[in-house]
Structure formats: C-alpha cells, structure tokens
Amino acid sequence: MRTILEGSKAVAEAVRLCRPNLVCAYPITPQTHIVEELSRMVAEGRLDAGYVLAESEFGAASIVLGGSAVGGRAYTATSSQGLLLMVEVIFNIAGLRLPVVMTCANRAVSAPINIWNDQQDAVSIRDSGWIQLFVEDNQEAVDTHIQAFKIAEELMIPVMVCMDGYVLTHTWEPVDLPEQEEVDRFLPPYDPPYKLDPDDPFTMGEMVGPDAYMETRYHVHMDMMEARSVIRRVCEEYREVFGRGGTGLIDAFDCEDADVVLVSMGSLLGTMRDAVDELREEGLKVGLVKVRCFRPFPKEAIHDAIKGSQVVGVIEKDISLGLEGTLCSEIRAAFCGEESPEISSFIMGLGGRDITKEEIKRVARDLAANPACRVEFRGLREDLLKGDERW
Amino acid sequence: MVNKEEKRLINLMEPGHTGCAGCGQAIAARLVMKAAGPRTIVANATGCLEVFTTTYPRSSWEVPWIHSLFENAAAVAAGMEVTLKAMGRYEKVKIIAQAGDGGTADIGMGCLSGMFERGHDILYVCYDNEAYMNTGYQRSSLTPPGARTTTSPPGKLSWGNRTRKKNMPLIAVAHGVPYVATATPADPRDLMRKVKKALEIEGPKYLHLLVPCVPGWGIESELSVEMARLAVETYLFPVFEIEEGVFTKVKKVKERRPVEEYLRPQGRFAHLFRPGGEPVLEELRRIADENAALEEGPVMLYGGIGAEP
C-alpha cells in the first residue's frame, strides 16, 4: 500500500507487520514517535503483542532480553543517551545469542547535550556484536526492519536498524507498506533453536572461565563474518517478494571511472547522489559508495568498489576523538598490505549541523585538487573556533 | 536409582555446585526451588549463587534458568512474563527473579522498582548476606551497623559500617506489592510455606531472606543455620508477612536472646567487643528493640488495597 507517512510511523507499521510478541521501549527524542505509534496500535488493538513501558532504556533492553530468551520475537527502539544506557545489556543480548531487533534513531551524544542528528551513538557501540544496518530513506527503513527480523533469527544475532534522527524519523515521505500476507510469507513465525521452557530446562548465561570464554567470542565473530552473506541473501529474497529492498552490504555508483569516490552512511546519501550528478555535469568524475551494513564490516565489498580510484573522501557524522572518523579508519584498514588510494576523513554534520549539497561538492573538488590523505572538520563556525569568549 | 523426573522433584537446584560448605544462600535457594516446583523459570542476577551453580559446562539447575547481568533480574523476568502471556504459554508457569542484597537494594533497585510498579506476576527473592560477598565482602546498603567489610573496615576513625540496613520490605510495600515476607533458612518449613503462598498470589511478590555467609561473616561453616536462628531470636532480623500493606504475621520469639549472642561468634563484629565499641552495640540493641515491637500486634504500614483505614 503506497501512502505518505512520517518515518517513525512507517517504522512502527513495519514492526507491526512483523508480528512481534514483545515490544518494550523507553521514550527518548527523536525515537519517541515510534513508541507513541506502537502504543496507539496496542491501544487500538491493531498490534497484538506484549507491551511494556519500561522504567529506563536499561530496563527496556533487559525486558526484551527476557522476552527473547523465552522464545518471543522482541523489539525495542532508542537513541543516543538511551543507547548508551543500554550498552551493558546490548553486549549481553549479543553474547547470549538472542535475535532482538532494535531501531536506533541516530542522535548526537552528550555533553554538551544535543538532541539532533549525528551517528556517534550507534558507531560507538560497533563492537557489541550487533549487526548494524544504516538506512538512507524511510522506504529503506521499512524494508530493512522486515529483513532485520529474518536476519537476526536465522543467525541468532541481534540487529540494530540505524536511521538518522529527525532527518528520517520526523520526515514525511511516500512509502510502500507491504501487505500482511506478503510479510507473513517472507518472515515465518520465529522458531527458536533454544529457549527457556519448563518442558525442556536449559541453563542460559552461565559463568564461563578462561578455559572456554574465548571460543564463545570466536563463534560470535565467525557467525558475524558469515552474516555478510546472509544479509545479502535476505536482501535478494526480499527483492524477489517485494520488488525492492535496498542493497545488501554496500551500494556503489559510478565508481568505475571515478577520479574521486565519496563514501558515507545513512540519509546523507540522498544529497550526495544529487551532488555527484551535478559534479559529473561539471566534468568531475565522482563516484559514490553507500555503506548500508556497518557491522559486520563489508571490508571486501568496499575495497573492491573503491580500489580503482586514486582518491577517496569519507564523509561521516561521528568521530573517534583523537584519531579520525571511524568509518574512514576501517576503510583504510581494508587496504592493509597493498597500495591504497588516498583516503581522507571528513567530519561533518555533528549535532545536527546541516550538510549542504554545496559542501559535499566542495569536498569532492578539494580532493580532486589536493588528494593528500587528511582529517578535516567541515562546516565549522569560525567565530566559535577560539572558544566562547564568555569563559 | 532415581530417574531424572524423580530427581527433579527432589532437588531442582542440584548439589555438586561449588558453594562454600555451610553457605546460607545455597540452603535457602534449594528450599526456594523445592517449594516453587519444576514449572518455574528463574532469572538470576550476577552473584555467588550464579557463579557457584553454573560454572560452565555444568549447571545445578533442573529448571529453565537465565543469568543476564547484575542489576536486571527483575527486568529480565518481567520480559519473560509479558512475552509468555502474549504467546499463550504462561499457564502453570511460575517466574522467580532472584538476587543478592547488592543486586536488589543497590544496583538492581531501578529494575526492581519498575517490576513492582508495573505489577508483573513475579516472585522476587532477595538473598541478603549483608554485603558484596561474591567480590570479597564489600559493604552494601543492606550491611548492618558495625559490620566490618573490606570497604567499611574498622580503624582508628571507624567502627565498621555506619549505616542501618535499607528497609527493602517496606520499600516493596510502598510500591503496593501485595505480598511481602521475610524468612531464613533456619526455619525451612516457614521459608517454603512463604514461597508457596507467594506463588499463589497474582502480581509482584517480595521475599527477603537472611542468608549467613561463612567467609563474609567470619563464622564456622557449621554455624550458618545457627546464626540465622540467632538473628531472628535476637530480633536483629524480624520475620514477618505483610499482605496488602498490613502485617498479618509477625514471628514471636519464645525466648529473646541478647544481641551479643548473635554478634560475638562473627568475625565481622569482633571489633565491637573491644573498648569503645559499646555505642555501636547500643545502636544494634535499639534496632532489636524496634523490631521486637513489631510483635505488639499487626501494624498497618501502608494504605494499600484491603487495608483498614
């Protein structure tokens, strides 16, 4: 059904179509509209799920952990500080191999407190053992949530769908919502390989010492590596049923002949596509790589997409303070031991600062003029660089 | 030779674990499970009980059992309850969340309060051994006055822990929890009766168990049950039931013992018997007197459902 929906509502509809047994969350801007919509669905009887209003994000994550452990399909959503408050449970969910699905409405991290969009929250917990998928628009958000449950339950690895706060969550866009029967066909009921059940007692979360802990981490790692092919395949299966569904791990455009390739994640890709088209009209051959899957990291796919170009600029809304943008570091590492393009890190759009098409074009032009590898903040306010004069 | 099913009925928390000889928590947990029965799912907080019963690849648990984190047993249990209900798999299932004193009264307080307030059908059991024993005897908010722990050591400027025990049963009552009780492994029948009674009641239940810790309290292993008995007979640990906010049963001690009989055998209180320790002993006597006054008759604590005005 084609309709016009706010991103948050579109996500709530997608979650409803996946027939979760448990929905539990705690409100935080800019995730709130998702849980408000799910609350409305429960109140109106449109969503037949256990529904818990938790006392904190920490509680919410723990509650979905419990629901997943007894064999239920469990969903939560959060953002920024809420995600950080969940962190201990997030690692635990992944270690217990429970296929929880979460929406992260990406937002900057305090201090200073800032409720606007960047991607520092999700990027900061990349090592937790969750699959992290970044979406570009609200249609992709819908499609990716439906795929997320399938990926999670097949691998027994939790999936976090990351969508830019406000830019997507609060923006109305046309979306095509699948029919319930189609989703049911694509996503069968969850049949867990293990669960807490009095008919078959099972101990979950035991104490594991130096004699066996490392192997548990090895298994998660190997399954995360394997997850890359599952994510690709589920994407193809989705495409077969619904005729769309985003790309698998990455999406590469016009990279073959490109002098400069730009890379990013999330909603910025839309603006970047326009910027690339205009640059090509100007005569600058620019390619584009969209990283949809951040964890597991699609090292080979990105490597192959950009290896032909001399210059790469990674534009990202996060920073590993004291180093550079995290995505940039990881792309650099993909060329370990071989000749690498010059790969530069551009930190932009932190705390909701707009990234204009002009700025993106300027990054590409500057890279073409000076390909040297570097780390730069773009869009800084000169008047504040010396600090706030009140101090 | 007993078959597996029969064995489950004997011990749902099996022996062979690595708990200390005389561990009060191990005795209490076995009794809790015996009373709860095999259709129970347990969410267990981090702590001694989790460590000594589930050292991989072995487990003492004959019921479905999960350990997630230190502070979230109540929330994990809440998620289980709501999900099983939503899936139509809740019939005849009982859910227990359990933790030590630190996992309950300190770090787990937020999740516990949320579980109480939302009214989940869960029995929460606090095994109170009055300090963080699993990490080597550090002070918690349930450590009693005067007790020596590794973070409340006596010294030139200290007589051990300075604070009274946080009143967890009344905190549960203040949430409107319909059944709140205390017990010790010194009276197994009373403990098991309370578990069974609690599990018959719909909604959140709170059971607070005093469980002596052999190394943490500095006692001989054969004295742990005796210490639990003396805690009750000195009135340092009152045993009672509160239903719908009203004391319905307060254990009357036949022959009240002086607090020294309980304190003196315990290494953690040894310093109180040196010159200058008298004011702390006096504070402990005051606490015993206050607890003894509970038996004057049922006292209304909270105007909950069913309480007389």
Calpha distance B11→B214 (Å, rounded): 23
Does one domain contain both A186 and A255? no
* Stated length of chain A: 391
Calpha distance A137→A70 (Å, rounded): 34
- Optimal mutation site among B82, B107, B112, B113, interface A, most CBs of chain A within 10 A: B82
Q: How far is CA A349 from CA A113, A263, B186, in A?
A: 15, 15, 64
What residues of chain A lie within 8 A of the CB of B204, using their CB?
A: none
User: For residues A22 and B79, is the Cβ–Cβ distance under 8 A?
Assistant: yes
Q: 3-class DSSP state for residue B160?
A: coil
CA neighbor of B98 nearest in space, from B49, B163, B169: B49
CA neighbor of B72 nearest in space, from A207, A87, A208, A153: A87
| pLDDT, tens only, A37-53 | 999 999 999 999 999 99
Please give the torsion angle defined by the CA atoms of residues B2, B5, B9 and B14, in that order, rounded to the nearest 10 degrees.
Answer: 80
CA neighbor of B218 nearest in space, from B148, B161, B164, B288: B148
C-alpha neighbours within 13 Å on the C-beta side of residue B89 = 21
What residues of chain B lie within 8 A of the CB of A209, using their CB?
A: 55-56
Task: Provide the chain A residues 42-81 that lie in CB contact (below 8 A) with chain B.
Answer: 48-56, 58-59, 62-72, 74
pLDDT at A388: 75
- Hey, how many other C-beta atoms are within 10 angstroms of the C-beta on B200? 9
Q: How far is CA B138 from CA A236, A301, B50, B110, B161, in A?
A: 55, 51, 18, 21, 10
Q: How far is CA B194 from CA A78, B124, B163, B209, in A?
A: 39, 12, 29, 11
Averaged confidence pLDDT in chain A: 97
What residues of chain B lie within 8 A of the CB of A49, using their CB?
A: 86
Calpha distance B83→A62 (Å, rounded): 13
pLDDT at B138: 98
> What CATH number did the domain enclosing A351 receive?
3.40.50.920
Does one domain contain both A159 and A18? yes
- Optimal mutation site among A22, A26, A53, A62, interface B, most CBs of chain B within 10 A: A62
Nearest residue, CB atoms, B67 vs list A89, A205, A209 = A205
pLDDT at A250: 98
**Is the preceding omega at residue A30 within 30 degrees of 0, hence cis?**
yes
Looking at chain A, the whole-number percentage of residues with pLDDT higher than 90 is 97
CA neighbor of B53 nearest in space, from B127, B145, B112, B148: B127
The domain boundary, picked from A218, A242, A266, lies at A242
Calpha distance A340→A309 (Å, rounded): 9
Residues 6+ apart with CB under 8 A from A114: A107, A108, A351, A352
Nearest residue, CB atoms, A50 vs list B69, B83, B117 = B83
User: For residues B49 and B104, is the Cβ–Cβ distance under 8 A?
Assistant: no
What residues of chain B lie within 8 A of the CB of A90, using their CB?
A: none
What residues of chain B lie within 8 A of the CB of A204, using their CB?
A: 64-67
Number of H-type helices and E-type strands within chain A: 12, 16
SS3 percent helix, strand, coil of chain B, rounded to 5, is 40, 15, 45
What integer is the mean pLDDT of A248-277? 96
Looking at residue B132, what DSSP letter applies? B
| pLDDT, tens only, A320-333 | 999 999 999 999 99
Write down the pTM of the prediction: 0.96
- Hey, how many other C-beta atoms are within 10 angstroms of the C-beta on A352? 18
What residues of chain B lie within 8 A of the CB of A206, using their CB?
A: 54-57, 59, 67
Residue of B nearest to A198 (CA): B39
Calpha distance A326→A300 (Å, rounded): 17
Closest-CA distance, B281 to chain A, in angstroms, reads 40
Bridge partners of residue A105, in order along the sequence: A163
pLDDT at B295: 77
Asked if residue A28 belongs to a domain, the reply is yes
Asked if residue A157 belongs to a domain, the reply is yes
Backbone angles phi, psi at B118, to 5 degrees: -80, -10
SS (H, E, C) A140-175: HHHHHHHHHHHHHHHHCCCEEEEEECCCCCCCEEEE
CA neighbor of B120 nearest in space, from B197, B206, B188: B206
Sequence letter at residue B135: T
Backbone angles phi, psi at B117, to 5 degrees: -65, -35
pLDDT at B305: 41
| pLDDT, tens only, A281-331 | 999 999 999 999 999 999 999 999 999 999 999 999 999 999 999 999 999
Calpha distance B178→A79 (Å, rounded): 36
Q: Do A92 and B69 touch (CB under 8 A)?
A: yes
Calpha distance A222→A216 (Å, rounded): 10
The domain boundary, picked from A224, A242, A260, lies at A242
Calpha distance A211→B284 (Å, rounded): 46
Looking up tokens 């998928």 gives: A133
Does one domain contain both A255 and A237? no
Q: How far is CA A215 from CA A95, A210, A224, in A?
A: 12, 10, 14
Residues 6+ apart with CB under 8 A from B278: none
Structure tokens at A335: 């060329």
Asked if residue A360 belongs to a domain, the reply is yes
Asked if residue A177 belongs to a domain, the reply is yes
The domain boundary, picked from A195, A223, A242, lies at A242
Q: How many domains does chain A have?
A: 2
| pLDDT digits (tens), chain B, 309 positions | 456 665 555 789 998 999 999 999 999 999 999 999 999 999 999 999 999 999 999 999 999 999 999 999 999 999 999 999 999 999 999 999 999 999 999 999 999 999 999 999 999 999 999 999 999 999 999 999 999 999 999 999 999 999 999 999 999 999 999 999 999 999 999 999 999 999 999 999 999 999 999 999 999 999 999 999 999 999 999 999 999 999 999 999 999 999 999 999 999 999 999 999 999 999 999 999 999 988 776 565 544 444 343
pLDDT at B294: 85
Does one domain contain both A225 and A109? yes
User: For residues B9 and B35, is the Cβ–Cβ distance under 8 A?
Assistant: no
SS (H, E, C) B40-83: EEEEECCCHHHHHHCECCCCCECCCEEECCCCCHHHHHHHHHHH
- Optimal mutation site among A21, A92, A93, A196, interface B, most CBs of chain B within 10 A: A196
Does one domain contain both A234 and A110? yes
Does one domain contain both A49 and A168? yes
Does one domain contain both A42 and A140? yes
Does one domain contain both A179 and A50? yes
Sequence letter at residue A339: E
Q: How far is CA A158 from CA A17, A184, A215, A304, in A?
A: 18, 20, 19, 27
Residues 6+ apart with CB under 8 A from B244: B178, B304, B305, B306, B307
Q: Do A201 and B61 touch (CB under 8 A)?
A: yes
Does one domain contain both A179 and A225? yes
Residue of B nearest to A69 (CA): B80
CA neighbor of A146 nearest in space, from A188, A95, A196, A88: A188
Task: Provide the chain A residues 209-238 that lie in CB contact (below 8 A) with chain B.
Answer: 209, 212
Closest-CA distance, B72 to chain A, in angstroms, reads 6
DSSP B270-306: GGGGSTT-HHHHHHHHHHHHHHHGGGGS--B----TT
Asked if residue A389 belongs to a domain, the reply is no
Nearest residue, CB atoms, A59 vs list B54, B80, B111 = B111
Asked if residue A172 belongs to a domain, the reply is yes
* Stated length of chain B: 309
Edge-to-edge, what's the strand order for the sheet holding A101-106? A50-53, A22-25, A74-78, A101-106, A159-164, A131-134, A293-295
Mode of pairing for the β-strands spanning B40-44 and A375-377: unpaired
Residues 6+ apart with CB under 8 A from B138: B131, B132, B149, B150, B151
What integer is the mean pLDDT of A357-379? 97
Q: Which helix (H) or strand (E) holds A293?
A: strand A293-295
Structure tokens at A262: 């730009």
Where b means 16+ CB within 10 Å and e means fewer, A226-257 reads: ebbebbbebbeebeeebeebbbbbbbbbbbee
Averaged confidence pLDDT in chain B: 93
What is the predicted ipTM? 0.96
Nearest residue, CB atoms, B64 vs list A21, A49, A202 = A202
Q: Do A72 and B75 touch (CB under 8 A)?
A: no
Range of the domain at A296: 250-384
Does one domain contain both A14 and A158? yes
In the CATH hierarchy, which fold is given to the domain comprising B4-296?
Rossmann fold (3.40.50)
Does one domain contain both A186 and A308? no
Nearest residue, CB atoms, A208 vs list B56, B63, B76 = B56
What residues of chain A lie within 8 A of the CB of B36, using their CB?
A: none
Does one domain contain both A201 and A348? no
- Hey, how many other C-beta atoms are within 10 angstroms of the C-beta on A199? 8
Confidence of residue A389 (pLDDT cuts 50, 70, 90): confident
What residues of chain A lie within 8 A of the CB of B86, using their CB?
A: 21-22, 48-50, 72
